[in-house]
């Protein structure tokens, strides 16, 4: 190691670090400018005796360079701790096992570029931990097994890019977590087994990333309101989570959230949650097959759970959406070949009872096509011209709507006018086929009306 390198990695620790910090921001930042890769070590330092006359402890606007910054097991005592607008460079920042007393901790507008920011096992008292408008990039921000007091943790309007944010086994006494208008890009958020009072996850942007919250426990309100950019999410896992207050899930996702084994005691609002089932299509010897299957075989179970929750909360429209996608997810995997073919037809002609227009148009097309066939096969000379078309139309309409009182008489008169005493085998076959298909389309129209106006 050269002498120049040794100077660049000079360490500032213990009493020397405290003495320079006491001289104020200007002196501190000047030293950092001269030693940009200096190692800052405040480990085990008791800051509770370093507070000013107002009880405040300030690192506001301090620059920490690109070396590691270590506050491991430091003690801050009661009162405000101010790191607002502080600039942490490319090194790690360690507050693991640190002890904060009662008072706010302010990291608002701070900048973190290091690969590891660690608050694991830290203890916070009564006061808010504020990261609003802070910027994090290219690393991890960990609160694993951290104990929060009664204050809130605020990430409002912060920016986290390419960051792993972890709250594994973190415990909140009576505080909430806020992500209001935060910008999250290429981020993995992990709340596994965390215990939180309230969670408001409503960022402004959330790019490619994952939300993992298996075993999460929330005592109060839970809100996941995801922006349009959430379509790029790769995973949204709430498996075995517990919600003792109202839960709201809203967003337009291209994945299926996993709420299997969740426990909830209040209403779950899924009315604004839209999901898209990811499916893959098969190719064989360069020829594309006519069907596709769900990419993830577990999606059917996830959708079944969403449908169950929607039904429990009397949200019929959401239950219909989830039920339709559940059937698509089971197609060719859990459902037999013949059942899958019928399922495809059910989807195509009515979107699983959610669409009224499709079966109505199909019934009209069937009636018109049957009318043309009846006119083409007419044998009576009296059925020529417009008279023949009129009789064919009456025959087709009466066969499509057999429940009308006049249908039987109109059908018999039209048959006689078009074919005389014997309609013939082909006409009878067409009538049977039309009758069966008309019954199916009428049933789908009725099903759609029932689902549309269900109370």
Under 8 Å CB-to-CB from 5, ≥6 apart: which residues?
none
Over the stretch 238-283, which tens digit does the pLDDT of each residue have? 999 999 999 999 999 999 999 999 999 988 999 999 999 998 876 5
- How do beta strands 159-166 and 187-190 pair? parallel
Q: Write down the pLDDT at residue 417.
A: 82
- Is residue 386 over pLDDT 90? no
Q: Which residue has the higher pLDDT, 15 or 374?
A: 15
Per-residue DSSP letter, 427: H
What is the CA 410 to chain-centroid distance, rounded?
Answer: 56
265: Cβ contacts below 8 Å, ≥ 6 apart:
243, 244, 245
- Based on C-alpha coordinates, what's the Rg of the chain? 34
Tokens of 164: 């792993």
Neighbours of 281 (CB within 10 A): 10
Between 372 and 178, residue with greater pLDDT? 178
Note the helical H segments in 9-90. Answer: 14-22, 25-34
Residues 6+ apart with CB under 8 A from 421: none
Name the pTM for this structure. 0.83
Give the 3-state secondary structure of residue 164. Answer: strand
Looking at residue 282, its pLDDT comes to 62
Number of Cβ within 10 Å of residue 352's Cβ equals 21
Q: pLDDT at position 2, please?
A: 43
Q: What is the DSSP string of 341-354?
A: HHHHHHHHHHTTTT
pLDDT at 6: 43
Of 136-145, 333-342, 355-364, the poorest mean pLDDT is in 333-342
Contacts of 207 (CB under 8 A, 6+ apart): 184, 185, 186, 187, 229, 232
- Two tokens, residue 156: 């409002």
């Amino acid at each position: 190691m050269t002498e120049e390198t040794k100077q660049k990695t000079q360490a500032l620790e213990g009493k020397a670090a405290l003495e320079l910090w006491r001289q104020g921001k200007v002196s501190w930042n000047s030293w950092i400018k001269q030693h940009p890769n200096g190692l800052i070590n405040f480990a085990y330092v008791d800051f509770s005796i370093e507070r000013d006359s107002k009880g405040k402890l300030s690192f506001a606007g301090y620059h920490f360079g690109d070396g590691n910054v270590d506050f491991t097991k430091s003690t801050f005592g009661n009162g405000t701790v101010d790191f607002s607008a502080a600039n942490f460079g490319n090194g790690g920042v360690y507050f693991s096992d640190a002890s904060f007393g009662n008072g706010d901790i302010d990291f608002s507008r701070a900048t973190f570029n290091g690969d590891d920011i660690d608050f694991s096992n830290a203890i916070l008292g009564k006061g808010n931990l504020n990261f609003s408008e802070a910027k994090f990039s290219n690393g991890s921000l960990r609160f694993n097994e951290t104990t929060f007091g009664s204050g809130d943790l605020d990430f409002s309007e912060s920016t986290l890019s390419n960051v792993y944010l972890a709250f594994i086994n973190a415990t909140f006494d009576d505080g909430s977590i806020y992500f209001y208008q935060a910008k999250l890009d290429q981020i993995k958020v992990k709340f596994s087994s965390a215990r939180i009072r309230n969670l408001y996850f409503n960022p402004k942007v959330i790019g490619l990333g994952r939300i993992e919250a298996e075993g999460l426990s929330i005592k109060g309100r839970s809100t996941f309101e995801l922006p349009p950019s959430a379509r790029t999410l790769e995973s949204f896992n709430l498996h075995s989570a517990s919600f003792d207050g109202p839960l709201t899930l809203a967003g337009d996702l291209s994945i299926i959230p996993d709420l299997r084994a969740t426990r909830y005691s209040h209403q779950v609002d899924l009315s604004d949650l839209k999901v898209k089932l990811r499916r893959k299509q098969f190719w064989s010897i360069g020829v594309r097959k006519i069907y596709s299957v769900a990419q993830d075989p577990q999606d059917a179970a996830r959708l079944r759970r969403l449908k169950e929750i929607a039904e429990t909360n009397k949200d019929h429209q959401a239950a219909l959406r989830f039920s339709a996608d559940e059937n698509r997810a089971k197609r060719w995997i859990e459902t037999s070949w013949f059942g899958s073919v019928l399922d495809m037809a059910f989807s195509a002609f009515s979107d699983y009872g959610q669409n009224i227009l499709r079966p109505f148009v199909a019934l009209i097309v069937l009636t018109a096509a049957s009318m043309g066939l009846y006119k083409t096969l007419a044998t009576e000379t009296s059925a020529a011209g417009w008279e023949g078309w009129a009789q064919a139309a009456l025959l087709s309409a009466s066969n499509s709507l057999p429940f009308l009182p006049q249908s039987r008489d109109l059908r018999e008169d039209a048959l006689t006018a078009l074919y005389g005493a014997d309609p013939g085998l082909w006409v009878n076959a067409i009538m049977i086929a039309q009758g069966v298909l008309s019954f199916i389309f009428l049933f789908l129209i009725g099903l759609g009306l029932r689902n549309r106006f269900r109370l």
